[in-house]
Amino acid sequence: MSFATCDLCDAHEDKLISGEMAALPPIFRQFGGVEKFSGPATTLKVFEDNGMVRAVLETSGNGHVLVIDGGGSLRCALVGGNLAVLAEKNGWSGIVVHGCIRDIEEINDCHIGVRALATMPVKSIKRGGGERDLIISIANVRIAPGDWVYADADGVVVAKTALHQS
């Protein structure tokens, strides 16, 4: 993958100023077997319930990044090893969780990039509640379905359109 989030920010400073692009605050930890990933966003809003997360990851990802607004909850995990395997198998580029994950050894063995706030061994409920493909806000950064997400060791950048380094 030929991008660096630092270079994207430098090359598209005008988009940062206009709000067409933003960097998520440095609150996310890096997991998974892929350090760098990008793709259009598929958004979810759930709270301590990962039934819808599973349902989405069971579908073809087509190189998308699943961005989960979990409300920043630190009480339970929204993604675990089984879901990371599903994501890898179904062609998702990566997962960004505004919440927790678990089964870190399994996730790190998967060829997928994951960003999350923290780890938590407690599993979530599975009622299937939540909403898909809506505009969400994570740490005051607006993310709409189809926005482009770029993640590497330096951070996570979200842009309204695909970016190219100059």
pLDDT at 7: 96
| Digit-coded pLDDT (tens) for 85-121 | 999 999 999 999 999 999 999 999 999 999 999 999 9
Distance of CA 22 to the CA centre of its chain: 14
Using CA atoms, how far apart are residues 123 and 38, in angstroms rounded to an integer?
27
Residue 76: C-alpha distances to residues 6, 53, 66, 87, 125 (Å): 32, 14, 18, 20, 9
What is the pTM for the complete model shown? 0.96
pLDDT at 1: 62
Least confidently predicted of 41-50, 123-132, 146-155? 123-132
Listed in order, strand segments (DSSP E) in the chain are 21-23, 29-31, 37-45, 65-69, 77-79, 94-101, 113-119, 131-132, 136-138, 141-143, 148-152, 155-159
Domains of the chain: 5-159 (3.50.30.40)
